[in-house]
Amino acid sequence: MSFDRLVKKIKETGNPSVVGLDPKLDYIPDFLIQKFQEEDGATLKTAARAIFAFNKAIIDEIHDIVPAIKPQAAYYEMYGYHGMKTLAETIRYAKLKGMFVITDGKRNDIGATMQAYTAAHLGSVRVGDNEIEPFGADALTVNGYLGTDGIKPLLEVCKERDKGIFVLVKTSNPSSGELQDQSMNGEPLYARMGDLCEKWGAETIGESGYSAVGAVVGATYPEQLRELRARLPHTFFLVPGYGAQGGGAEGVAGAFDVNGMGAIVNSSRAIMCAYQKEQCAPEEFAKAARREAIRMRDDITNYIKIAK
Amino acid sequence: MSFDRLVKKIKETGNPSVVGLDPKLDYIPDFLIQKFQEEDGATLKTAARAIFAFNKAIIDEIHDIVPAIKPQAAYYEMYGYHGMKTLAETIRYAKLKGMFVITDGKRNDIGATMQAYTAAHLGSVRVGDNEIEPFGADALTVNGYLGTDGIKPLLEVCKERDKGIFVLVKTSNPSSGELQDQSMNGEPLYARMGDLCEKWGAETIGESGYSAVGAVVGATYPEQLRELRARLPHTFFLVPGYGAQGGGAEGVAGAFDVNGMGAIVNSSRAIMCAYQKEQCAPEEFAKAARREAIRMRDDITNYIKIAK
């Protein structure tokens, strides 16, 4: 009912980073796609099968050194229900390998509908006498624009099943300031959203000092990262925008507390496409991903020290 | 590239309402579930098949008198990838029957990821030599918290494929005011989000006077409905919260312009569960849905007049 499980995994691996699995078909080596295309033609099923094979190989290579994966739901929905099957299979496989799984879905709705999203991604549904987990992630990213009504259904399942959520607070994109930086009653909207995270999480604070309600804060805004770290002492941060979007390791250091804890930094494309950048054999894609994951870990832990 | 297609359907049917297909398994008559459970057991597949049969029967009964359906993505995700297959099938079937389809997904992300959501729900993806529409709705609800970066990818596809989006502006739930009503530079956040809808839609205004960028404004806030109708002359409104959530027809009248146009009012549970309220035979569920859809149409058009 907090992020203690994630904190434990980060300590075990000495690595506060998460590998984003956002598998555009362009990222997947041709030989993998060809293999499935021979069986199923140029179909969504082929795309989905190639993506699962790609994800599985990367998970096999990184699960001992990286605490978590973050599949981005959009890239699975993009391949229709076959893609959603791959999302479920990817989550299941990563959990089997002991990884913590954050589904990046930025879901939001109210009441019974938010309960449905919660059941889909973090909980279970009943059919006849069976209780079934449709996707079964450990945490879900959510959008808080609708207020408490959209968060409450998540909190119940977080408490029951030891799950967590990350609420969008200050996103990594250039236009995030259009609304998030605007002054609301004297403070920026992102600060107000951050305060709500502290409030929503108040009853779920674990041994680590962090609650089950985390925040998404972009690596591209190092000042706000530091400001929010100080302001939100019980809110664990998911930090996108490292690497490809321009956020550096020095900048993300501000997301961490004095114990080198309190945040996990995401990298997606740089890891998935490491084989392209290295220009190694495409068959080496998973090993190249591992090399880049190690490089990233060392880059970040150069600036922060994780207390034992 | 505007909401002209939807406006035309509303004029044809003389009905500015949309049937929300949010099929919780509790809403589905037992005889339907039993039928599929005998074949596939108590599984997500059974749930998904029962839901499709339910949706199909309702679409068959209402497609001549209701212009649009609004499937809520959460209730399909809830049954895993089988549920997502039912979402795709429901959309395809409603379009075959000539209905306009609004997927209620409240999706949001940035750049390439928002492109992926756009391709999933409104556009197409390429696999080998094939261009495939994964879900193929006519419009999608989205959350604008991330600003222009999250909306731009949608606009491109709206222009290319004559699709539309509805941005959350003032939602129907009790806690929507926690953030949306707060003053931002002297005006409530929802008004600012509304202004952005006008800006985002500016290049996509159709013959109807409405752009491809609509707004979600709840029936439960009649004052804001009237205020926003006056403020946002080119923004088509999707109005949830009629009926079950407490919004009445008199209140939603403020969402419409002088021509009785500019808004579409949603009802989900009251229509899907009309057979329970009527206490008619469960086999009559689709006919009961039609009766309730007619009652709703007459209730709303009692207060507004659609110009020919």
From chain B, the residues in CB contact with A184 under 8 A are: 179, 182-184, 189
pLDDT higher than threshold 80 for residue B296: yes
| Interchain CB distance below 8 Å, A80 and B46 | no
% of chain A exceeding 90 in pLDDT: 95
- Tell me the C-alpha distance between B33 and B40, whole Å: 10
How many angstroms separate the CA of residue B117 from the nearest CA in chain A? 5
Question: Residue B245: pLDDT above 90?
Answer: no
Active site residue A308: no
Shortest Cα–Cα distance, A172 to chain B (Å): 9
Average pLDDT over residues B140-160: 96
Q: A176-194 pLDDT, tens per residue? A: 999 999 999 899 999 999 9
When comparing pLDDT for B246 and B272, which is higher?
Answer: B272
Task: Give me the pLDDT at residue B3, please.
Answer: 96
pLDDT at A134: 98
Contact partners, residue A263, CB within 8 Å, separation at least 6: A16, A229, A236, A237, A238, A239, A252, A255, A256
Single out the residue of B139, B99, B121, B134 nearest to residue B19, CA to CA.
Answer: B99
Strand ranges inside A137-250, DSSP E: 139-142, 164-170, 183-184, 187-188, 213-217, 237-239
The 10s digit of each residue's pLDDT in B130-148 is 999 999 999 999 999 999 9
- Rounded mean pLDDT, B262-266: 97
Domains for chain A: give ranges and CATH numbers: 4-301 (3.20.20.70)
**Helix, strand or coil, per DSSP, at residue A245:** coil
pLDDT at B147 (0 to 100): 94
Tokens of B176: 């929507």
| pLDDT of A255 | 97
Which of B106, B155, B216 to probe by mutation at the A interface, max A CB count within 10 Å? Answer: B106
Residues of B in contact with A119 (CB under 8 A): 78
DSSP sequence for chain B: --SHHHHHHHHHHT--EEEEE---GGGS-HHHHHHHHHHH-SSHHHHHHHHHHHHHHHHHHHTTT--EEEEBTHHHHTTHHHHHHHHHHHHHHHHHTT-EEEEEEEE---HHHHHHHHHHHTS-EEETTEEE-SS--SEEEE--TT-HHHHHHHHHHHHHHT-EEEEEEE-SSGGGHHHHTSEETTEEHHHHHHHHHHHHHGGG--TTS--SEEEEE-TT-HHHHHHHHHH-TT--EEE--BSTTSB-HHHHGGGS-TTS-SEEEEE-HHHHTHHHHHT--GGGHHHHHHHHHHHHHHHHHTT-----
Q: What global pTM score does this model have?
A: 0.97
- Least-confidence region, from A59-63, A246-250, B159-163: A246-250
A149 with B174: Cβ contact below 8 A: yes
Residues of B in contact with A121 (CB under 8 A): 77
CB contact under 8 A, B134 and A193: no
CB contact under 8 A, A42 and B129: yes
pLDDT at residue B1, as a whole number: 65
Contacts of A52 (CB under 8 A, 6+ apart): A86, A89, A90
